[in-house]
Structure 1
Amino acid sequence: MVTNADVHSDSVGAVGGGPRKYFFYGHRKPSQNRPVVRGGLFSNRKILPSSAASAAAAAVIPAIDFREWDPDNLTKPAPPPTSVPAADRRLSPLARYIIDSLRRHRRWCPAVLSDLSKLRRVPPDLVAEVLRSRPLIDPSLSTRFFHWAGKQKGFRHSFASYNALAYALNDAARPAAADQLPELMLSQGKPPSEKQLEILVRMHADAGRGLRLFHVYRKMRGKFGIMPRIYLYNRILDSLIRTGHLDLALSVYDDLRADGVKEEAITFTILAKGLCRAGRMDDLFEVLGRMRTHLCRPDVFAYTAMIKVLASEGNMDGCLRVWEELEKDGVEADVMAYSTMVSGLSKAGMVDKGCNLFQEMKRKGFIIDRAVYGSLVDGFVAERRVGDACQLLNDMVDDGYRGDLCIYNSLIGGLCAVGRVDKALKLFQIVIQEGLVPNFETVTPLLSFYADASEMSKFFHFVDQLTELKLPVMDHISNFFTIFISKGDREKKALEVFEELKAKGFSGLGIYNILIECLCSIKDWKNALTLFEEMKHSKNFQPDSVTHSLIIPCFVEEGDIRDACAYYNLIKANSWTPSLEAYCSLVKGLCKIGEINAAITLVKDCLGNVTNGPMEFKYALTVLNTCKMKNPEKVIEVLDEMIDQGYPLEDIIYCAIIYGFCKYASSGEAQKVFTIMRDRKFLTGANFIVYEELLNEHLKKATAGLVISGLKFFGLESKLRFTSDLD
């Protein structure tokens, strides 16, 4: 029989006389990863180090309380050198720690791996949180971190981490890699769903990548069997139509119908807008008929959207047909639909039809926007019906509206065009009285009328009025010359007006540049150079980069290549960039005088500084690279490609052939190319002789350059000077 005393003695013995092998007492064999329970079942757990190696590791890696990780605090174990953005504060402490490590090292390196090894485990939610913080780290590190996390033992990525990686790849300008994520998910046991398709569609739609969006849609639908819902179909259709792929959008619509998905009103509206933009009216009415049959008749918003698209494309016949369909359906047009139709008809020269709709608006009591009045005024002025335009202005004022500056500008321009400058001046005074600030569209018609009529006294009187009104007179005069010259055959008249303005003290850098450009356009090089000399001796201003770029072609056409090169060097010395015309004319001039080395150097400089250089220059460098093969047939292939593309064989192309073969092969290959081009009638006999002489001259220069370089290398320059002195 066991008494209570025995039980008590056993318990005391267990505590004082050695551990018993019972689970109640919690004595287990200690190990590195297995805690030991001391003192009973409900006691605290403690971890005992099982080896000296674990103790050494604990000494090397300091303990970090990740719950309190703050990279701004320098008292922490591994603070970053810079402060963390405020967006980082919304992240968890572990995510801030990982992002801080990636930001500090800026690349995937052992130091990053060492920081990550301090974490016992990175769960999928933490991976997704780090990848979602794309602005805080370099997007190129996202892929490395994603694959590192996937290598953890027993780790499986979640849908959130895959989606976050897709956004990171898109931000890193790697859309092709983002498109491969569905295959990666399937290989790792996570079949993609509609959500992944939606993410890829959204990314490609925002970036305007219509073809890539269609490829992703086809792959997800055909390979993975994903059937989008109607809202995603609408997004795909809208993106394809916006990027100009209407036929692909129609094929997607066929898939939508094949899948048995029920269309929405927005689906038909998207298709209708795309068909309107393409001008396919028959297909449009077919879609509208299907909409009436399967869903409902189009409402006023759908019709207004179609009219807007057709009006923006200038298809007013289509607008009228859609308007007829609107009336057949019994849809009551709103003020937006009327305004769009009136504006479109007025711009298309159908102002009478626009007036009829305008009268309907007034009968129905719509609140008419002032822009509708303005469009009708512009339409009347375009047809030189200025009287009707002025009457419409009076009607607008009687209806309680005030004219805006655009309406007054249109009327002033129309009155000046029909010779009623007196009424135009009255309108100008009304503009001043109503507190509107005249712009160049207000002033230029009056100045142009006085200049055409040679009424310079009235011209200067009007300029004095502008000065009294404290308007920017020089800017208005510069705009006047720009508009005045653009109307054609007024270059001489513009010079006469400028001479009188210059006598009154109205001259400036902008006016000189406008006139020089105008004279260059009519190839009046001498007068352009005369104006340039006046600018050089002016005390108020000096030529700028635009002036020098304009004057270089003048020197080239006059045969003064040295001065053209001098002004090019002046542009480069001031860290300016010459214009494309200056580059082309100077290269052409250098080729004509046989300065092939300088021409090739200028071609390279142009392509290095200009955003979109001429194709002739690009082909010239292609010819140079092809000459390295020492094969004339390859060069002929490049020339054939140029001819097929419609680019002329300029002098720089033949000079590139001379330069390339003399540098990388021999002059014989260049002569073979010239002979082939002459036999194929692309090079005349006279030009063949010219280029042959250029080849010989360039070969002599190249040989002389090699001789002088050899003399300098052996230190024989003094003998060369002595011999030349004797000669």
Structure 2
Amino acid sequence: MYPIAAIFRSPRLPVRKVRSLVSYSTATAVAWPLLSPCPPLSSAVRASTTQLIPSAHSFSGIARSVLSKYPHILEGGKARISADSSLRDLLFEVLDVIPDTGRRFLRVSELKPQDVLQILLGFQAECEKERFLATKVEPLWRIFNWAVEHVEGFEHLPSTYRVMALLLARAGLLREAESLLRNVESRGLVLDNAEILSNLIEEYAGLGELDRAIAVYDRVRRQGLVPLPSCYHALIEILVRRRKTQLAFSICWDMVERCTDKLAGEAKRDIDNVVRLLCGSNRIQEVRNLVKKVTFSDLGWQPCSFILNDITARYCEKKDFEDLLSLYRELRCEPDTVSGNRVVNTLCREFGSKRGDQFLLELEDLGFKPDEVTFGILICWSCNEGNLRSALMYLSESLSRGLKPDIFSYNALICGLFNQGMWRNVDEILNEMVDKGTSPDCTTYRILLAGYCKARQFDLLRNVIDEMQKFYFIQLTSLEDPLSKAFEILGFSPQAVRLKRDSHVGYSRAEFFDSLGNGLYLETDLEVFDSKVDAVLHGSIIPDFNELIMKECTSGNPKLDLLLVSEMSLWGQDLSLPVLSALVKELCLSHSSVKETSRLIEKMPTSFDRLDEVTLDSLARFFCKKRLSRKGMAFLGRMLDRKMTVKNETYTAFLASLCKEEDLIEFRKLWDLARKNKWAPGLDDFKLLLERLCGKKLLPEIVELFERMLMYHPISQVCDVFFEKLCSSGFTTMANRLAKEMELRGRFLDHVAKGHFIRGFCLENNHSEALRIFDSTQVDKLVVATDVLVTLIPSLCLAERSTEAVTLGDFLLKKHPSFSLPVHLALLKGYTEAGNFQEASDLFRDLLSKGICPGVEAYDMIFRGICRSNNLNKVEELLALMVRRNLSLSVSSFRMIVRLMCVQGRLNRVLGLKEFMLGQSNSNGLVIYNILIFHLFMTGKSWVVHSILSEMQAKSFLPDEVTYNFLICGFSHCQDYPSSMHYLSAMMSKEHRPSNRSLRNVIRCLCGVSEFGKVRDLCREMESRGWLHSSTMHNMIVNGLVSGGKIREAEAFADRMSEHRSIPNEVIYDGLIRQLCRQGRVGKAVDLLNVMLKKGSVPNASCYNSLINGFCADNDVDSAMDIHAEMLLRGLTPSIKTTSLMIRKCCEVGGIVEAERLLLSVSQAGQTPTREMYNSVINRYRSENNPRKASELVQAMQQIGYEPDFETHWSLISTLNQSKGEHSKVTNQPGFLSRLLSGSGFSWRTDTKSKRS
């Protein structure tokens, strides 16, 4: 097998060969190895191949290997500092943050202690003004260490240690920060700054390293420092989550003791959480002490209702009600409804309703206001005790206070009446209940059925069944017996209980009589019957909300469940753990509101901490699906803290969600955690996560995920999914590099993977690489998929391999006739993209002649090719053909044709084509008009636009945002700024935001006509609407003002943007800097240079030249040299004029060494020094009486063709007239005078060629 280039040796394919593509026959199959099965391998080859098949273990470390080999790809091409970086390189890394400070040290060979402190303080001050740049702390740390390593006897100042440690802690470089602190302690220094250690604690707590965080906290305590509030928050948060009760209490107590100001919101929540944690651990004494401590410390904290409820619940468990009352009195708090009802309910349950009633009076003395539930509790417990009189008294008191008893109170009273045999009075309670607006519920009817069964009033039983059917509680067919239905509702089977009439034959069995006097008896086990009826009545007195909620959880109505939970808390009852678990699972499976679920969690956090693994996992996934990943992560953290197993699917779901939410900080934390826990997603989850990673371009994680998948799944399946996704996402080069790494480890890719590579490179327009891989498949005898070969056809055409493309198409058509249309479209695309418009037209014509309808896509390709060749006649022919075939013209083709017609000035035809498009469909009418307006403006035919707008108005086509933007840009392009401003105002009046391009065009137009007042008004309008200037707009305004001579206005605009912190990134002040330097305002120019650097812009060489010239004009040579050093570090070359001026100024101030270095740098940069440069340095050496150096420079000057002037000649001759003899004695070489004369054209032996003057 040979590469395809070797198979096809024929010259360029003639047109008739192209036409033959449409007349293929399938009668004979052409055998072409591309699509034929691979030939069988020999046994030796099979054996060697088998030996080369790697195991999953062989791919261990593949991610690390690739990351180390291709760091420039994975890091976006950004250079990283290396281990042997010089001081200048390290300073350059932070120069964009502290340019003013950093450039002062670019020329020093070693740093002083105060220099390092100045650099660190400058960085710290800049971060406080803008934002903290953690990535820049590493080069600062390197600078800190460089000084110690390269300067003998160097000792940092104590303040330097403090600032460096603080920066390291804030940047998360915790190991480095601790190392620095140990170094400081070993030197006997004390860093009296709690901020450093507080930041360390925060970072360790955020990473979950609790032991390290506590160790640093203990160090803070030992040193007598006060941690920052944020440090307390971080510690308490992780301690509460991990249920470290004693530590949380101790740290919270310490926080309260050390606090001197009012507590902030976070600190108040921390106290709440600690109190609830203590309550959950039944440490009520610590709760009491902490609550009193905080309340009496006047820190602005008061226990909220949730806290009081938790405290009350713990006291109720201990049955220490007197202590609870004393706490309320000390805190001067009024018990709320939930707390008071809980106390009353607990007292009634434990000591009877009479004790609950007595304690209610004491609660009322504290300000408690009982509600209908409070009296309902007393009614229910009184009925449960058989004290019906007290129950009726509580009902009367409730009504006298204007309260409306609830259904549970009435149910309890009905039960009490039945239990006391007072069934005749039940109707009175029912009537009063209905009169008060409370309707019977299912439990009420069940109580009535049980009560009438107990009283043997079966006639009334029928009435209850009829009423239940009337209100749709049950459905009864005509064949069903009402009494049997009643027994069924009470839990009896139809065969177990039968009601029979006494026949009066023999011994009478009648137990009771109906309203007609008929004797009746129950055929059942009466003892069991009465026991079950009594159980219904007794079980319905006290509402069991857990049972009610559990029953409702199966109905799929979570809103009703949540209502029951709310009512349950009012009755002083708690959710049991099984019921809570069932409720949470139902909420997670339903479309419940996140707010409702969060509110439930807030009510009972301790109960949620006790949920099982499956329920916590469901809850975490629920919040993840709702795109509240951070909230879900809290439950994931609880699972990990309790050593529960987290499913692979859960890790993957959270990673994908965090990636989608762009929360990359939490994403990377969870990524590291999942890797430690040996996480490996399934293949389906792998596809989803890979898609999200590709979308965010997280290449290191992509490579690591690939390695992890290879370790846990079949290699072929992983490679197929991975390479397909990477190649379709624009990362084919990265995929190819991974494939090469796999080959080094013995895994050679199959035809499927190479097909992905070919398709990916074609999509990325890297046709040469696609063809290279394709040729390799031929050498390796691999079968390539048909759709991949179709994709390859345009690449062959673009690579000037049209012959091979046609031959490939010929083969595909004969082998797969169903691919006829895709193959021809691929050829059309290849011809049009390669500029072979004639071949494309011939192929298209032949397709039509054979009756093949190529479709809209093919017409678009042909129109694109013809329009590129500017052949309007061909366009019109094709349009006529489409009309005859009743085909529709696509919008993309319309756009290309309109552009060509506008360029050639065929306005009538443009308008006719527009009518044709509108006749096809009115749905794209506005799009058609927008295209027309755009191209009319682009070809300078703005006068037609007004008539087009009038026509649009007549046809009720209202301009949209696209229309307005086209009008603004178009009129600006035509220098018609009044019209442009008119449509800009109209657009803004409709509350549309113009595009940045429109605003740029308007500003450019206004600046061009020096309408700076209107520019200023537009900028203020943008600021009032909160629209930020883009860097292009900002630069345009500044450059326009500078070009108009408005230097002060340009400066004021830049200052105003700086004050409002509205300066965009990549701002450019080159022109303004040059003008300021010309005016002698170099200081302000440097300020603007610093702004540029901080915003990520690199000034050009002329900007640096202007600054150097300005400093030289002010005789500030040191500053000029600093700017020069920065300029060279950025790879910019100063102009000859600038270097000459610097050399002259250095010589004037005595900097002869710097001057000579500058002179040498000119030659090293490939430039030729001027005569003036040499003369300046030579004259300075002469004035310093250093003829030896002067003579060396004269020789260098002569070597490039310059001759020194007479004064320089004579001065050196008179000074060095003895140098010949002395020099000859030592070196046996001619002296200076001989060399000087020889260089000037004289020789003791023969004359040399004269030099150019």
State TM-score, norm by structure 2. Answer: 0.36
Alpha-carbon distance, 1:267 to partner: 1.3
Q: How does 1:544-559 map to 2 (within 5 A)?
A: 550-551=1001-1002, 553-559=1004-1010
Secondary structure of the 2:853 match is coil
Q: Where does residue 310 of structure 1 map in the other structure?
A: 761
Alpha-carbon distance, 1:219 to partner: 2.4
Q: Where does residue 874 of structure 2 map in the other structure?
A: 423
Percent sequence identity over aligned pairs: 11
User: In structure 2, what is the Cα distance between the partners aligned to 1:282 and 1:595?
Assistant: 50
Alpha-carbon distance, 1:360 to partner: 1.6
Alpha-carbon distance, 1:386 to partner: 1.9
Q: Where does residue 588 of structure 2 map in the other structure?
A: 132
Query: Which sections of structure 2, spanning at least 5 residues, go unmatched?
Result: 1-316, 319-348, 361-372, 381-405, 412-436, 442-550, 953-958, 1070-1082, 1101-1115, 1125-1253
Alignment counterpart, residue 442 of structure 1, candidates 893, 898, 921: 893
Q: Where does residue 529 of structure 1 map in the other structure?
A: 977
User: In structure 2, what is the Cα distance between the partners aligned to 1:192 and 1:504?
Assistant: 64
Contact 2:867-2:897 at 8 Å conserved across structures: yes
CA deviation string 1:108-137 (max 9, x = no partner): xxx899459434524352353265268533
Partner amino acid for 1:436? Answer: L
User: In structure 1, what is the Cα distance between the partners aligned to 2:658 and 2:991?
Assistant: 48
User: In structure 2, what is the Cα distance between the partners aligned to 1:285 and 1:341?
Assistant: 22
CA deviation string 1:619-641 (max 9, x = no partner): 9xxxxxxxxxxxxx9x9999646
User: In structure 1, what is the Cα distance between the partners aligned to 2:1026 and 2:979?
Assistant: 22
Q: Where does residue 167 of structure 1 map in the other structure?
A: 621
Q: Is the aligned partner of 1:482 residue 2:934?
A: yes
Q: How does 1:123-522 map to 2 (within 5 A)?
A: 123=578, 124-126=580-582, 128-129=584-585, 132=588, 135-138=591-594, 142=598, 145=601, 148-151=604-607, 156-170=610-624, 175=629, 178-179=632-633, 181=635, 183-188=637-642, 190-192=644-646, 194=648, 196-201=650-655, 203-204=657-658, 215-222=669-676, 224=677, 226=678, 228=680, 231=683, 234=686, 240=693, 243-252=696-705, 254=707, 261=712, 263-273=714-724, 274=726, 277-279=732-734, 281=736, 283-285=738-740, 287=742, 298=750, 300=752, 302-324=753-775, 326-327=777-778, 332-343=783-794, 345=796, 352-368=803-819, 370-397=821-848, 400-454=851-905, 476=928, 478-480=930-932, 482-483=934-935, 494-495=939-940, 497-499=941-943, 514=966, 517=969, 520=972
Q: How does 1:635-646 map to 2 (within 5 A)?
A: 640=1090, 642-643=1092-1093, 645-646=1095-1096
Alpha-carbon distance, 1:478 to partner: 4.8
CA deviation string 1:39-87 (max 9, x = no partner): xxxxxxxx99635245688744567899x9xxxx99699xxxxxxxxxx
Alignment size in residue pairs: 551
Alignment counterpart, residue 354 of structure 2, candidates 48, 52, 57: 52
Q: Is the aligned partner of 1:121 residue 2:576?
A: yes
Contact 1:198-1:232 at 8 Å conserved across structures: no
Alpha-carbon distance, 1:170 to partner: 3.2
Alpha-carbon distance, 1:244 to partner: 3.6
Partner amino acid for 1:314? Answer: N
Contact 1:450-1:456 at 8 Å conserved across structures: yes
CA deviation string 1:298-348 (max 9, x = no partner): 464x45434333322333344334435555665544432333323555577
Secondary structure of the 1:314 match is coil
CA distance 1:145–1:303, shift in 2 (3 Å): same
User: In structure 2, what is the Cα distance between the partners aligned to 1:95 and 1:534?
Assistant: 56
User: In structure 1, what is the Cα distance between the partners aligned to 2:945 and 2:646?
Assistant: 74
CA deviation string 1:258-300 (max 9, x = no partner): x6x453422122444448623453641553697868xxx8464
CA deviation string 1:227-274 (max 9, x = no partner): 6476489566776566544444444555566x6x45342212244444
Query: Which sections of structure 1, spanning at least 5 residues, go unmatched?
Result: 1-31, 34-46, 78-87, 103-110, 487-493, 608-612, 620-632, 651-673, 683-727
Alpha-carbon distance, 1:362 to partner: 0.6
Alpha-carbon distance, 1:388 to partner: 1.1
State TM-score, norm by structure 1. Answer: 0.57
CA deviation string 1:183-213 (max 9, x = no partner): 5334435354556545544544665778855
Q: How does 1:575-590 map to 2 (within 5 A)?
A: none
Secondary structure of the 2:1005 match is helix
User: In structure 1, what is the Cα distance between the partners aligned to 2:950 and 2:562?
Assistant: 63
Which one is further off, 312-321 or 247-256?
247-256
CA distance 1:390–1:185, shift in 2 (3 Å): same
Contact 2:968-2:981 at 8 Å conserved across structures: no
Secondary structure of the 1:437 match is coil
CA deviation string 1:506-531 (max 9, x = no partner): 8888889647635746xx7xx32365
Alpha-carbon distance, 1:158 to partner: 0.7
Contact 1:501-1:507 at 8 Å conserved across structures: no
Partner amino acid for 2:352? Answer: S
Q: Where does residue 655 of structure 1 map in the other structure?
A: none
Secondary structure of the 2:818 match is coil
User: In structure 1, what is the Cα distance between the partners aligned to 2:892 and 2:903?
Assistant: 17
CA distance 1:61–1:345, shift in 2 (3 Å): farther
Contact 1:204-1:212 at 8 Å conserved across structures: yes
User: In structure 2, what is the Cα distance between the partners aligned to 1:467 and 1:189?
Assistant: 68
Give the root-mean-square deviation of aligned CA atoms.
5.9
Contact 2:1012-2:1041 at 8 Å conserved across structures: yes
User: In structure 2, what is the Cα distance between the partners aligned to 1:347 and 1:485?
Assistant: 33
Secondary structure of the 2:888 match is coil
Alignment counterpart, residue 1097 of structure 2, candidates 636, 647, 650: 647
Secondary structure of the 1:407 match is helix
Alpha-carbon distance, 1:172 to partner: 6.8
Secondary structure of the 1:367 match is helix
Partner amino acid for 1:647? Answer: S
CA deviation string 1:396-418 (max 9, x = no partner): 33565313233223323433443
Higher relative contact order (CA 8 A, sep 6+): 2
Alpha-carbon distance, 1:615 to partner: 3.1
CA distance 1:421–1:99, shift in 2 (3 Å): same
Secondary structure of the 2:889 match is coil
Partner amino acid for 2:611? Answer: H
User: In structure 2, what is the Cα distance between the partners aligned to 1:410 and 1:388?
Assistant: 12
CA distance 1:637–1:53, shift in 2 (3 Å): farther
CA distance 1:90–1:477, shift in 2 (3 Å): same
User: In structure 2, what is the Cα distance between the partners aligned to 1:48 and 1:328?
Assistant: 90
CA distance 1:606–1:410, shift in 2 (3 Å): farther
Contact 1:201-1:213 at 8 Å conserved across structures: yes
Q: Where does residue 559 of structure 2 map in the other structure?
A: 96
CA distance 1:184–1:558, shift in 2 (3 Å): same
